[in-house]
Amino acid sequence: MNQAFSKIWILIILTIFIAGGFFTWQYFRISQIKSLEIIPSQKTEQGIVYQEDAKAIIIGKNLDKVELYQRGGGTGIYTSPEGGLIGMASKIKDSWGKESWEVASLPIERLIAELCAVGFDEKENKIGEVCIYNVYGGVTKTSNETADWQTYKNDEYGFEIKYPSEFTFSSEGPNSVQYTIDRGEQISGTVQPSYDTIIFFDGNNEVDRVEIFHKYAKDILEENYQDKEYLYLFGPCDIRWGFQPEVFNLNSINNVDILIVKGKNQEDVSQTCGYLKNSDGNLIVISNKEYKSEIFNQMFSTFKFLK
Protein backbone atom coordinates (compact mmCIF):
# COMPACT_ATOMS: atom_id res chain seq x y z
CA MET A 1 0.00 0.00 0.00
CA ASN A 2 2.71 2.46 1.02
CA GLN A 3 4.89 1.46 -1.93
CA ALA A 4 2.02 2.04 -4.39
CA PHE A 5 1.27 5.39 -2.75
CA SER A 6 4.95 6.38 -2.98
CA LYS A 7 5.08 5.46 -6.67
CA ILE A 8 2.05 7.65 -7.36
CA TRP A 9 3.73 10.60 -5.65
CA ILE A 10 6.94 9.98 -7.56
CA LEU A 11 4.97 10.00 -10.83
CA ILE A 12 3.20 13.23 -9.84
CA ILE A 13 6.51 14.94 -8.95
CA LEU A 14 8.13 13.76 -12.19
CA THR A 15 5.16 15.03 -14.20
CA ILE A 16 5.35 18.45 -12.52
CA PHE A 17 9.10 18.58 -13.07
CA ILE A 18 8.83 17.65 -16.76
CA ALA A 19 5.94 20.08 -17.34
CA GLY A 20 7.83 22.86 -15.56
CA GLY A 21 10.92 22.18 -17.65
CA PHE A 22 8.87 22.23 -20.85
CA PHE A 23 7.22 25.56 -20.04
CA THR A 24 10.57 27.03 -19.00
CA TRP A 25 12.06 25.90 -22.31
CA GLN A 26 9.10 27.38 -24.17
CA TYR A 27 9.47 30.66 -22.27
CA PHE A 28 13.12 31.06 -23.18
CA ARG A 29 12.31 30.26 -26.84
CA ILE A 30 9.79 33.13 -27.10
CA SER A 31 11.00 35.96 -29.32
CA GLN A 32 10.59 39.43 -27.82
CA ILE A 33 11.75 42.95 -28.54
CA LYS A 34 11.85 44.87 -25.27
CA SER A 35 13.43 48.32 -25.45
CA LEU A 36 15.10 50.95 -27.64
CA GLU A 37 17.53 53.56 -26.37
CA ILE A 38 19.94 56.04 -27.95
CA ILE A 39 23.36 56.23 -26.25
CA PRO A 40 24.60 58.83 -25.57
CA SER A 41 21.60 61.15 -25.68
CA GLN A 42 19.96 63.85 -23.61
CA LYS A 43 16.30 64.17 -22.66
CA THR A 44 14.96 67.70 -23.06
CA GLU A 45 11.51 69.29 -23.11
CA GLN A 46 11.43 68.96 -26.88
CA GLY A 47 12.44 65.29 -26.96
CA ILE A 48 15.59 63.17 -27.14
CA VAL A 49 18.67 64.90 -28.55
CA TYR A 50 21.69 62.98 -29.81
CA GLN A 51 24.90 63.85 -31.64
CA GLU A 52 26.86 62.21 -34.46
CA ASP A 53 28.57 59.55 -32.32
CA ALA A 54 25.31 58.20 -30.87
CA LYS A 55 24.13 54.61 -31.32
CA ALA A 56 20.73 52.96 -31.11
CA ILE A 57 20.75 50.06 -28.63
CA ILE A 58 17.92 47.51 -28.80
CA ILE A 59 17.28 44.88 -26.13
CA GLY A 60 15.42 41.71 -27.07
CA LYS A 61 15.26 37.94 -26.77
CA ASN A 62 15.58 35.19 -29.40
CA LEU A 63 15.53 37.65 -32.29
CA ASP A 64 16.87 36.71 -35.71
CA LYS A 65 16.84 40.20 -37.19
CA VAL A 66 16.24 43.80 -36.04
CA GLU A 67 15.52 46.76 -38.33
CA LEU A 68 15.49 50.45 -37.37
CA TYR A 69 12.95 52.76 -39.03
CA GLN A 70 12.11 56.44 -38.94
CA ARG A 71 8.58 57.75 -39.45
CA GLY A 72 7.94 61.42 -40.05
CA GLY A 73 10.43 64.22 -39.85
CA GLY A 74 12.57 66.36 -42.10
CA THR A 75 15.82 68.27 -42.34
CA GLY A 76 16.02 71.14 -39.86
CA ILE A 77 12.26 71.19 -39.31
CA TYR A 78 9.39 68.77 -39.90
CA THR A 79 8.99 69.45 -43.59
CA SER A 80 7.66 66.15 -44.91
CA PRO A 81 6.43 62.75 -43.78
CA GLU A 82 9.71 61.14 -44.77
CA GLY A 83 10.36 57.71 -43.41
CA GLY A 84 11.95 54.41 -44.12
CA LEU A 85 14.66 52.03 -43.13
CA ILE A 86 17.62 53.59 -41.31
CA GLY A 87 19.62 50.40 -41.00
CA MET A 88 19.89 46.80 -39.93
CA ALA A 89 21.00 46.21 -36.36
CA SER A 90 24.00 44.07 -35.48
CA LYS A 91 23.99 41.76 -32.49
CA ILE A 92 26.66 42.94 -30.02
CA LYS A 93 25.90 40.81 -26.97
CA ASP A 94 24.06 37.58 -26.28
CA SER A 95 23.72 36.48 -22.67
CA TRP A 96 21.30 34.13 -20.94
CA GLY A 97 17.81 35.25 -21.93
CA LYS A 98 18.94 38.69 -23.13
CA GLU A 99 20.33 40.08 -26.38
CA SER A 100 21.71 43.50 -27.30
CA TRP A 101 21.59 44.87 -30.84
CA GLU A 102 23.16 48.05 -32.21
CA VAL A 103 22.72 50.50 -35.05
CA ALA A 104 25.85 52.62 -35.12
CA SER A 105 24.97 55.16 -37.81
CA LEU A 106 21.97 57.41 -37.11
CA PRO A 107 20.65 60.31 -39.25
CA ILE A 108 22.15 63.64 -38.26
CA GLU A 109 20.67 67.15 -38.69
CA ARG A 110 17.21 65.65 -38.66
CA LEU A 111 14.09 65.54 -36.54
CA ILE A 112 12.45 62.13 -36.36
CA ALA A 113 8.84 62.05 -35.21
CA GLU A 114 9.00 58.34 -34.43
CA LEU A 115 12.06 56.06 -34.25
CA CYS A 116 11.12 52.38 -34.18
CA ALA A 117 13.03 49.12 -33.86
CA VAL A 118 11.24 46.15 -35.43
CA GLY A 119 12.12 42.59 -34.42
CA PHE A 120 11.80 39.39 -36.47
CA ASP A 121 12.09 35.73 -35.52
CA GLU A 122 13.98 33.01 -37.37
CA LYS A 123 10.99 32.45 -39.69
CA GLU A 124 11.02 36.13 -40.76
CA ASN A 125 7.83 36.80 -38.81
CA LYS A 126 7.52 40.29 -37.33
CA ILE A 127 7.15 39.77 -33.58
CA GLY A 128 6.81 43.39 -32.45
CA GLU A 129 8.32 46.85 -32.34
CA VAL A 130 9.40 49.46 -29.80
CA CYS A 131 9.41 53.18 -30.53
CA ILE A 132 10.66 56.45 -29.09
CA TYR A 133 9.26 59.82 -30.09
CA ASN A 134 10.65 63.20 -31.11
CA VAL A 135 14.26 62.26 -31.65
CA TYR A 136 16.55 65.14 -32.62
CA GLY A 137 19.76 64.32 -34.46
CA GLY A 138 21.98 67.27 -33.62
CA VAL A 139 19.16 69.75 -34.28
CA THR A 140 18.77 72.63 -31.85
CA LYS A 141 15.59 73.81 -30.20
CA THR A 142 15.43 76.91 -32.39
CA SER A 143 14.42 74.67 -35.31
CA ASN A 144 11.49 73.18 -33.42
CA GLU A 145 8.46 73.91 -35.57
CA THR A 146 6.06 73.48 -32.66
CA ALA A 147 7.47 76.62 -30.99
CA ASP A 148 5.03 78.75 -33.03
CA TRP A 149 2.01 76.52 -32.45
CA GLN A 150 -1.06 77.40 -30.41
CA THR A 151 -1.62 75.79 -27.01
CA TYR A 152 -4.84 74.18 -25.86
CA LYS A 153 -5.02 74.22 -22.06
CA ASN A 154 -7.54 72.35 -19.91
CA ASP A 155 -7.39 73.61 -16.33
CA GLU A 156 -10.18 71.33 -15.07
CA TYR A 157 -8.33 68.13 -15.94
CA GLY A 158 -4.84 69.61 -15.74
CA PHE A 159 -3.18 69.23 -19.13
CA GLU A 160 -2.13 71.11 -22.23
CA ILE A 161 -1.29 70.16 -25.81
CA LYS A 162 0.01 72.19 -28.75
CA TYR A 163 -1.54 72.26 -32.21
CA PRO A 164 -0.66 73.99 -35.52
CA SER A 165 -1.85 77.58 -35.79
CA GLU A 166 -4.03 76.84 -38.83
CA PHE A 167 -5.94 74.11 -36.96
CA THR A 168 -9.16 74.61 -35.02
CA PHE A 169 -10.63 72.64 -32.14
CA SER A 170 -14.05 71.89 -30.73
CA SER A 171 -14.96 70.86 -27.18
CA GLU A 172 -17.88 68.44 -27.46
CA GLY A 173 -18.61 68.15 -23.72
CA PRO A 174 -19.95 64.94 -22.13
CA ASN A 175 -21.09 62.21 -24.52
CA SER A 176 -24.71 61.04 -24.65
CA VAL A 177 -24.05 58.18 -22.23
CA GLN A 178 -22.73 60.57 -19.59
CA TYR A 179 -25.77 62.83 -20.06
CA THR A 180 -28.17 59.94 -19.37
CA ILE A 181 -26.13 58.84 -16.36
CA ASP A 182 -26.17 62.40 -15.00
CA ARG A 183 -29.96 62.44 -15.38
CA GLY A 184 -30.24 59.09 -13.57
CA GLU A 185 -31.70 57.34 -16.60
CA GLN A 186 -29.06 54.60 -16.70
CA ILE A 187 -26.07 53.45 -14.70
CA SER A 188 -23.83 52.13 -17.50
CA GLY A 189 -23.69 51.35 -21.21
CA THR A 190 -21.73 49.58 -23.94
CA VAL A 191 -20.05 52.92 -24.72
CA GLN A 192 -18.11 54.35 -21.80
CA PRO A 193 -19.29 57.75 -20.50
CA SER A 194 -16.85 60.57 -21.15
CA TYR A 195 -16.69 63.95 -19.45
CA ASP A 196 -15.39 65.79 -22.51
CA THR A 197 -14.03 65.21 -26.03
CA ILE A 198 -11.74 67.77 -27.67
CA ILE A 199 -11.41 67.35 -31.44
CA PHE A 200 -8.69 69.08 -33.50
CA PHE A 201 -9.43 69.85 -37.15
CA ASP A 202 -7.40 70.69 -40.24
CA GLY A 203 -10.16 72.37 -42.22
CA ASN A 204 -12.99 69.84 -42.11
CA ASN A 205 -10.69 66.89 -41.47
CA GLU A 206 -10.31 65.54 -37.96
CA VAL A 207 -6.63 65.12 -37.05
CA ASP A 208 -6.89 63.86 -33.50
CA ARG A 209 -9.11 63.86 -30.45
CA VAL A 210 -8.61 63.92 -26.69
CA GLU A 211 -11.26 62.10 -24.63
CA ILE A 212 -11.54 62.42 -20.85
CA PHE A 213 -13.10 59.58 -18.87
CA HIS A 214 -13.80 58.79 -15.22
CA LYS A 215 -11.11 57.66 -12.79
CA TYR A 216 -9.32 54.45 -13.76
CA ALA A 217 -7.92 52.62 -10.75
CA LYS A 218 -5.61 50.20 -12.54
CA ASP A 219 -2.18 50.76 -14.06
CA ILE A 220 -1.80 51.69 -17.72
CA LEU A 221 -0.26 48.42 -18.95
CA GLU A 222 -0.46 46.30 -22.09
CA GLU A 223 -2.01 43.36 -20.21
CA ASN A 224 -4.76 45.65 -18.91
CA TYR A 225 -5.75 46.69 -22.44
CA GLN A 226 -7.64 43.47 -23.07
CA ASP A 227 -6.96 40.54 -20.77
CA LYS A 228 -7.67 41.95 -17.31
CA GLU A 229 -9.07 45.45 -16.99
CA TYR A 230 -10.59 46.10 -20.43
CA LEU A 231 -8.81 49.33 -21.23
CA TYR A 232 -9.97 48.93 -24.84
CA LEU A 233 -13.50 49.95 -23.75
CA PHE A 234 -12.33 53.57 -23.66
CA GLY A 235 -11.88 55.48 -26.92
CA PRO A 236 -11.95 54.32 -30.55
CA CYS A 237 -9.45 51.42 -30.28
CA ASP A 238 -12.26 49.12 -29.17
CA ILE A 239 -12.01 45.48 -30.26
CA ARG A 240 -15.79 45.06 -29.86
CA TRP A 241 -16.32 47.24 -32.94
CA GLY A 242 -13.74 45.55 -35.17
CA PHE A 243 -10.49 47.22 -34.09
CA GLN A 244 -7.52 44.85 -34.45
CA PRO A 245 -4.51 45.81 -32.28
CA GLU A 246 -1.13 45.15 -33.88
CA VAL A 247 1.47 47.06 -31.86
CA PHE A 248 1.70 47.89 -28.14
CA ASN A 249 4.30 50.31 -26.85
CA LEU A 250 4.63 51.53 -23.26
CA ASN A 251 6.53 54.81 -23.37
CA SER A 252 7.10 58.10 -21.59
CA ILE A 253 6.48 61.55 -23.06
CA ASN A 254 7.39 64.60 -20.96
CA ASN A 255 7.64 62.31 -17.91
CA VAL A 256 4.15 60.93 -18.56
CA ASP A 257 3.74 57.15 -18.81
CA ILE A 258 1.60 56.30 -21.80
CA LEU A 259 0.46 53.10 -23.48
CA ILE A 260 0.32 53.45 -27.26
CA VAL A 261 -1.80 50.95 -29.21
CA LYS A 262 -1.75 50.82 -33.02
CA GLY A 263 -3.82 48.74 -35.40
CA LYS A 264 -6.59 48.78 -38.00
CA ASN A 265 -10.24 49.67 -37.42
CA GLN A 266 -13.27 47.97 -38.96
CA GLU A 267 -12.80 50.06 -42.12
CA ASP A 268 -9.20 48.77 -42.45
CA VAL A 269 -7.90 52.26 -41.63
CA SER A 270 -4.86 52.73 -39.40
CA GLN A 271 -5.80 53.87 -35.89
CA THR A 272 -3.60 54.93 -32.97
CA CYS A 273 -4.67 55.40 -29.34
CA GLY A 274 -2.60 56.65 -26.41
CA TYR A 275 -3.79 55.89 -22.85
CA LEU A 276 -2.64 57.90 -19.82
CA LYS A 277 -3.93 59.19 -16.46
CA ASN A 278 -3.83 62.61 -14.83
CA SER A 279 -2.92 63.21 -11.18
CA ASP A 280 -6.56 62.68 -10.12
CA GLY A 281 -6.71 59.32 -11.88
CA ASN A 282 -8.91 60.38 -14.81
CA LEU A 283 -8.23 58.27 -17.88
CA ILE A 284 -7.31 60.33 -20.96
CA VAL A 285 -7.26 58.80 -24.45
CA ILE A 286 -5.57 60.61 -27.36
CA SER A 287 -6.38 59.10 -30.76
CA ASN A 288 -5.75 59.56 -34.47
CA LYS A 289 -6.70 57.86 -37.72
CA GLU A 290 -4.22 57.72 -40.58
CA TYR A 291 -4.87 61.36 -41.62
CA LYS A 292 -1.68 63.43 -41.07
CA SER A 293 -0.21 60.94 -38.61
CA GLU A 294 3.12 62.81 -38.59
CA ILE A 295 1.37 65.93 -37.27
CA PHE A 296 -0.38 63.78 -34.67
CA ASN A 297 3.02 62.48 -33.47
CA GLN A 298 4.24 66.06 -33.07
CA MET A 299 1.11 67.08 -31.17
CA PHE A 300 1.40 63.98 -29.02
CA SER A 301 4.94 64.93 -28.05
CA THR A 302 3.81 68.33 -26.69
CA PHE A 303 1.25 66.86 -24.26
CA LYS A 304 1.98 67.94 -20.66
CA PHE A 305 0.24 67.73 -17.33
CA LEU A 306 -0.10 71.01 -15.45
CA LYS A 307 -0.06 69.50 -11.98
Is 93 part of a structural domain of the chain? Answer: yes
Q: Which of 40, 173, 62, 74 is nearest to 120 (CA)?
A: 62
Q: Which of 241, 168, 224 is nearest to 201 (CA)?
A: 168
* Same-domain status, 135 and 153: no
Regarding pTM above 0.75, the answer is no
* Same-domain status, 139 and 162: no
Is 42 part of a structural domain of the chain? Answer: yes
What's the pLDDT at 284? 92
* Same-domain status, 230 and 285: yes
Is 27 part of a structural domain of the chain? Answer: no
67: CATH? 2.60.40
Rounded to an integer, the average pLDDT of 42-53 is: 76
What's the pLDDT at 45? 64
* Same-domain status, 169 and 205: yes
Q: Which domain holds residue 283?
A: 149-305
Rounded to an integer, the average pLDDT of 60-65 is: 87
* Same-domain status, 110 and 163: no
Rounded to an integer, the average pLDDT of 35-61 is: 83
Task: List, for residues 216-233, the tens digit of each pLDDT value.
Answer: 878 888 888 877 667 888
∠ CA(291), CA(296), CA(302), 5° rounding?
Answer: 170
Domain termination site, one of 123, 143, 163: 143
Is 11 part of a structural domain of the chain? Answer: no
* Same-domain status, 301 and 153: yes
Say which residue, 130 or 138, is predicted with more confidence.
130
Rounded to an integer, the average pLDDT of 193-205 is: 86
pLDDT, averaged across the chain: 76
* Same-domain status, 173 and 233: yes
Say which residue, 84 or 178, is predicted with more confidence.
84
Q: How far is residue 9 from each of residues 19, 219, 227, measured CA to CA in Å?
A: 15, 41, 35
* Same-domain status, 118 and 156: no
* Same-domain status, 166 and 289: yes
What's the pLDDT at 241? 81
What's the pLDDT at 72? 63
Is 120 part of a structural domain of the chain? Answer: yes
Rounded to an integer, the average pLDDT of 66-71 is: 86
Is 25 part of a structural domain of the chain? Answer: no
Domain termination site, one of 101, 122, 143: 143
Q: How far apart are CA 230 and CA 116, in angstroms?
A: 26
Sign, Cα dihedral of 128, 132, 134, 137: negative
Say which residue, 18 or 108, is predicted with more confidence.
108
Q: Which of 29, 6, 8, 26 is nearest to 18 (CA)?
A: 26
Is 112 part of a structural domain of the chain? Answer: yes
Is 182 part of a structural domain of the chain? Answer: yes
Rounded to an integer, the average pLDDT of 22-29 is: 47
Rounded to an integer, the average pLDDT of 113-128 is: 85
* Same-domain status, 208 and 139: no
* Same-domain status, 229 and 87: no
* 19 has a pLDDT exceeding 70: no
Q: In this structure, what are the phi and psi dihedrals at residue 67, rounded to the nearest 5 degrees?
A: -120, 145
In one letter, which amino acid is 118?
V
What domain count does the chain have? 2
* Same-domain status, 96 and 243: no
215: CATH? 3.40.1000.10
Domain termination site, one of 115, 143, 171: 143
Q: Minimum mean pLDDT among 30-34, 149-153, 156-160: which range?
A: 30-34
Q: How far apart are CA 201 and CA 164, in angstroms?
A: 10
